[in-house]
Chains A and B, each alone.
Chain A
């Protein structure tokens, strides 16, 4: 019986357990499935944003002493070796502004998504689980919200409330929650008919308890998938608001306002003022989008067509 391995023998003997992976092995297996490209882009950006104070060569809001305005990046003629990627219209260091801009973009992207996700998921669960007039009210609210293009709505709110980074977080959260509400409501409608929910209700659990213990854990995956796909949208929305002057106020460095600052010099060919912040936005959004796609396929195959 040479073909019977040790393991088969153990199985035949009836005392075998399925081969279990150790923590270390499971960790390795998980790491092997991680999306390499998006992480390779995102991790550096996150590190730069977190340690901006240590990395940035200059204060992003103050001119570099002795530097001229609109100095080109280091490889071009006439560059100032003190400012690697050149200077802007107030002779501030572009590299430092990009570095601190990463912090603004990521904070707004993540926090805005968090606010939107919390509002939308809560409303979606309430509408789906409670039904009746609550459902009607929430769905009509969602319709009304969808009637305005998100950007126009956000511009309107930002104009009225006044610009600041945290205002933008709240505003984008309050504008972009509708998708969660719709998707989550749909899921809750079918969850509500499932047996484990029915049984919990029969056992006398309060709606509060059913929602928190039985419904919420089952919609968290969808919320996470939607959220990961939305971070990029929020980042672009923040950049758009900042570009229009109703986002993160100057002198705070935000990629969108850097694009606005560089616009006047585009005509004379000072391309670096426009290209660098744009590439940063593009890379971060691209990476979050790829991350979201990966998460979607991993967590919930049903959402693949979203």
Chain B
């Protein structure tokens, strides 16, 4: 077990290293960050001063080392626009994104799991076909467009829901449905295939042969095991939603991390964009690592395979 944790942790560190080198390289290679920081038409001396101030006159390896050290110490640089550390901004916006992502996860559960379950139990029936249609539309209808259409119907035409901003429960409904939509479809498909796999296994056959009622076989025996991969996916989805809900947050003026990133893009605030991206990467690597270790703890077979 110790060896497993060690190996996985080193993989996670390597991932973070590659990620940071990539981001560092892209920022340096795609143009001089100083010209982005300075006012257009700034004098050459001013540019040189800025360069020295940000350490950009150093050789690349030295720059990278300084950058990596700062990231490791939790310093992601300072936003030009806000004149505040990016980490502070990120954690200020985190609760809003977390709130949205949690409700969206809940919605994807409520739609995805029962629908996937019914599809698997009544495989190749009308229910299953209905589930397939939902899954297909989940992929084909972009969540952000669904959001716009919902605004049109429920805010503009019917006047039932507020169009944007954070506030009561009513504010949460549309953004979380729009965000959870795609994930509901992916949970549906995973629940279905996971259930089908479990239902084929020997112990389910045994349970049936024992004469247990179908309902108990499905709920107590099959569903419980089929749920494991589904919950894993949901955990990863949650982190992805927190960090990748950019468009939904923009459409609904939701003051979360996605909107922070969007502001960074528009104000050419490159430390902010870079910082949010790195922070997202760190968070996802850590969550994946935790899930891997938890899995290995629960299931010894994973520990032993390379």
Instruction: List residues of chain A with CB under 8 Å of any chain B CB.
Output: 140-141, 143-144, 147-149, 151-153, 155-157, 159-162, 232-233, 236, 239-240, 243-246, 259, 263, 266-269, 271, 274-275, 278, 281-282, 285-286, 289-290, 305
Of the candidates B30, B152, B240, B265, the one whose C-beta lies within 8 Å of that of A155 is B265
The verdict on B215 contacting chain A, using a C-beta distance below 8 Å, is: no
Helix, strand, loop or mixed for chain B's interface? Answer: helix
Using C-beta atoms within 8 Å of the partner chain, give the interface range for chain B: 35 or more
Assembly CA distance A305 to B191 (angstroms): 12
Of the candidates A147, A157, A160, the one whose C-beta lies within 8 Å of that of B15 is A147
**A236 near B26: Cβ-Cβ < 8 Å:** no
**B156 near A152: Cβ-Cβ < 8 Å:** no
**B136 near A244: Cβ-Cβ < 8 Å:** no
**B193 near A305: Cβ-Cβ < 8 Å:** yes
Question: Which residue in chain A gives the minimum CB-CB distance to B27?
Answer: A160
Instruction: List residues of chain B with CB under 8 Å of any chain A CB.
Output: 11, 14-19, 22-23, 26-27, 30-31, 136-137, 139-142, 144-145, 148-149, 151-152, 155-157, 163, 193, 240, 243-244, 246-247, 250-251, 261-262, 264-266, 270, 273-274, 276-277, 280-281, 284-285, 288
Question: Which residue in chain B gives the minimum CB-CB distance to A141?
Answer: B18
- Which of B26, B30, B145, B261 has most chain A Cβ within 10 Å? B145
B residues less than 8 Å from A243 (CB atoms): 144, 247
Helix, strand, loop or mixed for chain A's interface? Answer: helix
Assembly CA distance A143 to B7 (angstroms): 14
**A149 near B243: Cβ-Cβ < 8 Å:** yes
A residues less than 8 Å from B149 (CB atoms): 274-275, 278
- Given A140-B11, A157-B26, is A282 in contact with B140 using a C-beta cutoff of 8 Å? yes
- Given A144-B22, A147-B288, A263-B148, is A232 in contact with B139 using a C-beta cutoff of 8 Å? yes
Question: Which residue in chain B gives the minimum CB-CB distance to A237?
Answer: B142
Assembly CA distance A259 to B140 (angstroms): 16
**A278 near B142: Cβ-Cβ < 8 Å:** yes
- Given A147-B288, A160-B30, A289-B139, is A282 in contact with B145 using a C-beta cutoff of 8 Å? yes
Question: Which residue in chain B gives the minimum CB-CB distance to A149?
Answer: B244
Assembly CA distance A268 to B157 (angstroms): 9
Q: How close is A147's CB to chain B, nearest CB, in angstroms?
A: 5
Assembly CA distance A289 to B185 (angstroms): 14
Q: How close is B143's CB to chain A, nearest CB, in angstroms?
A: 9
- Which of B136, B148, B266, B270 has most chain A Cβ within 10 Å? B148
**B284 near A232: Cβ-Cβ < 8 Å:** no
**A160 near B26: Cβ-Cβ < 8 Å:** yes
A residues less than 8 Å from B246 (CB atoms): 151-152, 155, 240, 244
Assembly CA distance A245 to B266 (angstroms): 9
